[in-house]
Amino acid sequence: MSIRPIVTVPDPVLREKAKPVRKITPEIQNLIDDMIETMRQAPGVGLAAPQVGVGMQVMVVEYAEGSENADADAEPKPKKLYTLVNPKISRHSKETELGKEGCLSIPDYMGEVERYGTVTVKSLDRHGKSFKLKARGWLARIFQHEIDHLNGVLFIDRTENVWKVEPEEAQEASETV
């Protein structure tokens, strides 16, 4: 496992539609392991393969449900790791929510983005097994953000309200999405 460099705008790989994974090979497994390590080191809550320069439909998310509203003195909730290959949003709520997002590929900037409040995602896991999951709130936002990366869409494409983060917001920006 190794930490890969995170690609930033204006690298063209971030604007290309990622290719579906046809077969889960040892190279894909290695990519997944590297992405997990890279995401954790960044630190971030999600990472899509194009963000490490690989145009494949692979993404990883690690998030503790409810952690965005947690009291500073509260016991931290355990994070759950999700590995998704060829993910697709199969259903979504009508309701949307406005929330702040940052991106490892657009450092030092945040924006307010409207996203579905609930999504159902169909995907393959790292072993090629099909699964479906339903996510709400910030977890749903993270999945939508990372799936956008696989389609060449960045959060700045979904908002007109983008701002440069102040130093005290820098940690928040890296952990938002």
177 in Cβ contact with 143 (< 8 Å): no
Q: Is the peptide bond before 10 cis (omega within 30 degrees of 0)?
A: yes
- Report how far residue 150's alpha carbon sits from residue 154's, in angstroms, rounded to the nearest whole number: 10
Which among 62, 65, 146, 168 is annotated as catalytic?
146
Kindly report the number of other CB atoms within 10 A of residue 6's CB atom: 19
Kindly report the number of other CB atoms within 10 A of residue 79's CB atom: 13
Strands 106-116 and 162-164: antiparallel
Per DSSP, the three-state class of 90 is strand
* Annotation says 146 is catalytic: yes
Where in the sequence numbering do the catalytic residues fall?
Answer: 146
